[in-house]
Structure 1
Amino acid sequence: MNKKLYVKLAVTNIKNNSLMFLPYLFTCIVVIALFYTINSLVNDHALKTISGGNFTIDVMKFGSILFTVLSLFFLLYANSFIFKKRKKEIGLYNLLGLEKKHIRKLLILESSLLAFFSMLVGIAIGLVLNQVVGIAMSAMMKVPLTVSTISLLAIIKTVVTFMIIFMIIHVFNLKQIHSVRVIELMKGAQIGEREPKAKLFLAILGSILLIAGYLLSFSVKDPKLDLAEIITAIVFVVAAT
C-alpha cells in the first residue's frame, strides 16, 4: 500500500466513524484549551505583580500537574470506548488481507490527524479563553490585569504534553491489536462491560485518604501560608476518589 492510499483510507475511516470520533475530538479540544489557559496564566508576568499573584500561580502549577494526570486517564478511557466499538472493523480489515503492520500504519495516520486537529483547534480556543479568564480574574481581584495574548512557552508545553499523551493512547491501541486474535476483534464490539469487582483493601485505603484529606483541609487557617497542606489534602481526596 502506498502513502496516498493510507491517507485516503484514514480520512475515510474518520468520516465514516464521525459519530464516534466527534465526542472524543471535542473532549480533546476542550482539555487542550484548558491546559493551555492554565499554563499561559502560570507563565504570565502580569499575574506576579498583583497581590496574591504568586500564591495563585503556585496553586495553578499544581493544578496543571493534576490536570495532566487526569487528562491522560480520561482520554484513555474515552479512547478505549471508541476502540472497542471499532474492533469489528479492524478485524474485517485483517480478514480482507491487511496485515497487522498495515493496520498499525493506518492507526498511526488516524491518530496523527486527530491529534494535529485537536491541538490546533484547542490552542486556538485556548488563546481566546486565556483573555476571557484574564478579564474575569481582573474583575474578581479588582486590579488591572493584562495577560499576554500568546505564550510561546505554554504552546510548547501543551504540544509536548499532549503529544506524549496521544502516543501513550496509540501504544495502548497497538497493544490491543497485537495481543488479540482476529475472531476476538470481530466479536469485540459485542462483548459487554464486565461488572467491576469490589476490593476491600482499596475501599478501606480510599476511605482513610478521604477522611484524612478533609480533616487536613479543615485545619488550614491561612491558604497563603498553608499551601503545602492544601496541596496534600487535594492529593488525598483525588487519590481516594
Structure 2
Amino acid sequence: MYLKLAMGNVRRSVRDYSVYFATLALAACLLYSFIASGDYLLALDLTAEQRSVYGRIGSVLEAFSIFVVIVFIFLVAYANRFIVRRRKREFGLYALVGMGRGSIAAVLALEGGLVGAAALVVGIALGVVLSPAFGAVAAFVFDAPWTPHVAFLPGAAAWTTGSFAAIAGLGAV
C-alpha cells in the first residue's frame, strides 16, 4: 500500500522531484566518472615517470571524490527539506486521515528511494558515457595517445552505489 502511494506521489510531484532527481543523477555521474577515470588512466600508454605521477593523482582523485560525497550529502539534505516543506499540507492531510508519523516517514522514504534508484541508474549510465571524456583530458595532460572507448567498470559502479547509498541515507537523516 505504501509503495503504491509513494509511486503516485512521485508522479504527482514530478516537478518537485525533478530537482532531487537531477541532483542525485549528477552525483552518481560525477562519482562514477571520478572512480572510472583511474582505470582510463591505466589504459593509457604512459611512461614510468608519468605512472608515478598518476599514482599521486589517484589518491588526490579519491580524496576529491570523498569531498564530492560530502557536498552532495548537504545538497540531498536540502532537497529533502525542500520537498517536505513544499508538501507540508499533503502530509497534514495524511495525518488527518489517520496516518501516523512513522507511516508518513515511510512513504516519504519510499518516494526518495524510488527517485534515488532511478537517478542512480541514469547517473551511472551518464558516467559510463562521459567517462571517456575524462580519459581524453588525462591523455591531453600526460601527452599520451588516446582512443575513445566506452566501458562499464563494475568496481566503479559498486563504489558509486555505496557512496550513493551513504549520500541518500545521510541526506535523509
Q: Which runs of 5+ in 2 are unaligned?
A: none
Percentage identity across paired residues of the two chains: 28
In the alignment, is the contact (CA less than 8 A) between 2:45 and 2:144 conserved in 1? no
In the alignment, is the contact (CA less than 8 A) between 2:124 and 2:157 conserved in 1? yes
Specify which structure has the bigger relative contact order, considering alpha-carbon pairs within 8 angstroms and separated by 6 or more residues.
Answer: 2
Q: Does 1:76 align with 2:73?
A: no
Pick aligned residue for 1:46 from 32, 43, 46: 43
Q: Partners in 2 of 1:61 and 1:48 — Cα distance?
A: 22
Report the CA distance between 1:32 and its aligned residue: 1.0
Distance 1:152 1:93, change over 3 A: same
CA shift digits 1:196-235 (9 cap, x unpaired):
xxxxxxxxxxxxxxxxxxxxxxxxxxxxxxxxxxxxxxxx
Secondary structure of the 2:87 match is helix
Q: Partners in 2 of 1:167 and 1:134 — Cα distance?
A: 31
Aligned length: 167
Q: Which runs of 5+ in 1 are unaligned?
A: 173-241
Report the CA distance between 1:148 and its aligned residue: 6.9
Counterpart in 1 of 2:143?
142
Q: Partners in 2 of 1:47 and 1:72 — Cα distance?
A: 33
Distance 1:26 1:76, change over 3 A: same
Q: Partners in 2 of 1:105 and 1:74 — Cα distance?
A: 21
Counterpart in 2 of 1:158?
160
Provide TM-score, normalisation by structure 2: 0.85
Report the CA distance between 1:98 and its aligned residue: 1.6
More helix by share: 2
Q: Partners in 1 of 2:95 and 2:77 — Cα distance?
A: 24
The 5 A counterparts of 1:93-104 are 93-104=94-105
Counterpart in 2 of 1:115?
116
Q: Partners in 2 of 1:53 and 1:140 — Cα distance?
A: 11
Secondary structure of the 1:97 match is coil
In the alignment, is the contact (CA less than 8 A) between 2:24 and 2:76 conserved in 1? yes
CA shift digits 1:3-59 (9 cap, x unpaired):
xx3222111111111111101111110111011100112355336945132232232
Secondary structure of the 1:89 match is helix
In the alignment, is the contact (CA less than 8 A) between 1:47 and 1:53 conserved in 2? no
Task: Please tell me the residue identity of whatever aligns with 1:149.
Answer: A
Counterpart in 1 of 2:31?
35
